[in-house]
Chains A and B, each alone.
Chain A
Amino acid sequence: MNSNAAHKPVCAESDAITIAFTLNGKSHTAKVAPGERLLDTLRYGLALTGTKEGCGEGECGACTVLLDGLPANSCLVPAFQVRGRDVRTIESIPAERLGPLLESGATQCGACTPGVVMTAAWIRDHRSELQSFTTRALMAGNLCRCTGYDGIIDGLERWIASESGGRS
């Protein structure tokens, strides 16, 4: 599926749900339609267009955000479910921190990169807990059509090492 079908669902004003949640460290409120996906709230409601839509079916990971600290596909999250919860998007990560990824050829067209970085940020912050998983296995939900993955894995490992212990 391509993203053209994903225009913001319409609903009567009376059906809209007001939700309060934490977005990139700040309190936020948004009015969402009952059938609205978090991806659309972010992109069209809040103009945070860093989060991308690839497949709309949970396969590609381009829409990955951190929900209460865990990677989630925002195309599969009903927006109202983030009420009272913590959402972090690619906009929370300063671009100047991403040097190692750019240098290692981890990004070409860039469509997958925001999702890749969010999953990587989670791996970086939970190194010890995730020791029994390989980086490749943890990244299996982030597909890339350009790079062939070696650049991504290599770049991530260097990025994680360069930030070890640090947080963005």
Chain B
Amino acid sequence: MAGATDLLVHWPIRPEAQDKTYLDLSAISELRPFRWTDVSLHIGALTTYWDILRDPQTRAEFPLLHEAARQVGAIQIQSRGTWAGNIANGSPAADGVPVLLAYDASVVLTSMAGSREIPLREYYTGYRNSVRRSDELITSIILPRRRYDFSVFHKVGARRAQAITKVGIAVTREAGARAANPWRVVASSVAATVRRCPAIEAFLASGALVRVPSDFFASIDADIRPIDDIRSTASYRRTVLARLLYHSLRGVSATVV
């Protein structure tokens, strides 16, 4: 456990959670800070949303980290909740995970047997399931330092502050010719996990004109299968996702008009 903002919810009436064994990371100061190298930003397992919000350099280079951190709960959650806990908790409605994915983050998993680094986009295997073994901890998150000429994060919830995401997007476009396709599109709350959307990315790069939000439907349907749940319906989510993409990218991408 780190900030315990997921773990301790309704704690006194969850005997099944109380019966488990936890390892508290909070006093391991080596896991706290984030640090920069020439090529990447390393976010420690105990780095909180507030740690990032206070830092001007991350705001300049990775503005979506700030956008997302500002919209996670309120200060009481931002001060305690960690980026690694957000990944480990594995909610499809998470707000930290989409922006990390949009920056092509990888996750360092460490156990007594050693460490391995895996791309975040390969981390989840299904609803609240991942490749992390039970003896492994997330010890850091690595973001490659690249130039982006566009980035956006949007979260739609029941109200502006402190609401669980019904539909969310994080989109980046990398500057320069390093990547074959500069777009990274991530959708949250519309599938069993937060996920990258390769069909939408390919569609944006294809040069096809997008004149109305519904032009995104074919690629949306190739990428995700939204569900009905207590917070929203599948068709609402599909429609809102198309509109979020359209209105965020209109005028940014030459093909979205």
State the A residues within 8 Å of B (CB). Answer: 1, 5-7, 9, 35, 37, 56-59, 61, 64, 67, 70-73, 75-78, 80-81, 83-84, 119, 122, 129, 137-142
Contact = CB atoms under 8 A, between A and B. Distances in A.
B1 A73 contact: no
A81 to B, nearest CB: 5
A70 B76 CA distance: 8
B79 A67 contact: yes
Contact of A58 (B50, B70, B77): B77
A75 to B, nearest CB: 7
Contacts of B4: 76-78, 81
Contacts of A141: 73-77, 162
A138 B75 contact: yes
Given A1-B10, A35-B11, A139-B74, 5 more contacts: A73-B80, A81-B4, A129-B54, A140-B162, A141-B162
Contacts of A56: 9-12
Nearest to B24: A81
Interface of B: 1, 3-5, 8-13, 18, 24, 26-27, 50, 54, 70, 73-77, 79-80, 161-162
A76 B162 contact: no
Given A81-B4, A137-B161, A76 B75 contact: no
A1 B9 CA distance: 10
12 contacts: A1-B13, A37-B12, A56-B10, A57-B9, A57-B10, A61-B74, A67-B80, A76-B5, A76-B80, A81-B4, A140-B75, A141-B76
